[in-house]
Amino acid sequence: MKRTIIGITVILLSACSTRDNYKIPEYSGKNIAFEKLPYSLDALSPHISPKALYFHYSKHYLGYVKKADAAIAESSYAGKNVEDIIRSTWMIQEPPYKKIYNNTAQAWNHAFFWKSMAPAKEKVTMPEELQKKVTADFGSVEKFISAFRDAANNHFGSGWVFLAEKDGKLSLLSLSDAGNPIPQGYKPLLALDVWEHSYYLDYQNERAKYTDAFLNHLVNWDFALQNLKL
Ligand SMILES: [Fe+2]
């Protein structure tokens, strides 16, 4: 009995400690939203730890949101639709457009990436409807998963892997830095962040383990299917 009480106390202390140490900040952007994390900080554990998710969400993502918010506020894009800003500033190298694009696209990509994951499962399953579409465009679900894994693990440097649709066909896009599928006319369905900041705390340099954790336990195929139907 005493051992059980001690066990419960340890679990409660651990839960309190996670909440206290990793308090998610609040920020209300005027030009771009700081979107809520759609699950708790420990929901992706043990594949992505609360610590790693906290730093990714509260430091990196919020950093992009704040910089985008400030840069947009000082430009003629203030009050404009975020996706239109991404389309308009894509490929423009001169300041302030490059800064606006980079931070706005990074903020959008991260908000989309949080929704591309769901609380950890023993093994994720792909909805049958998406399996059929993937099989039609990639040959089989296995070939598609293998192509996704290759795109993530072989991407050079920082960037993103997007599953996207254009003209009725699915594609895997390997995009560098703040790359985003929207300006190239693709409909984004799902994203995986392959910037080192997204996995280094849990996996150090082993990106392949992070990719496998995403594909086996975290990916939200329902979100991809929902986007395909939009
Ligand atoms: Fe990131």
| Residue 177 falls inside a structural domain | yes
Give residue 116 CA to ligand 1 midpoint distance, Å. 13
pLDDT digits (tens, 9 = 90+) for 97-142: 999 999 999 999 999 999 999 999 999 999 999 999 999 999 999 9
- Give residue 181 CA to ligand 1 midpoint distance, Å: 16
- Rounded CA-CA distance 85/88 in Å is 5
Closest to 160 in 3D by CA, of 216, 102, 89 = 102
Taking the centre of ligand 1 as the mean of its atom positions, its distance from the CA of residue 80, in whole angstroms, is 24
pLDDT at 181 over 70: yes
Domain extent, residue 182, equals: 128-228
Indicate whether 56 belongs to any domain: no
For residue 220, tell me if it sits in a domain: yes
Where residue 211 sits, what CATH number does that domain have?
Answer: 3.55.40.20
How close is the Cα of 3 to the center of ligand 1, in Å? 41
23 domain-assigned: no
| Rounded Cα–Cα distance for residues 158 and 150 (Å) | 15
Residue 166 within a domain: yes
Task: For residue 132, tell me if it sits in a domain.
Answer: yes
> Does a structural domain hold residue 72?
no
- Give the pLDDT band of residue 23 (cuts 50, 70, 90): very high
Predicted TM-score (pTM) above 0.85: yes
For residue 230, report the distance from its CA to the centre of ligand 1, in Å: 25
Please give the tally of structural domains in the chain.
1
pLDDT digits (tens, 9 = 90+) for 56-103: 999 999 999 999 999 999 999 999 999 999 999 999 988 899 999 999
80 within some domain: no
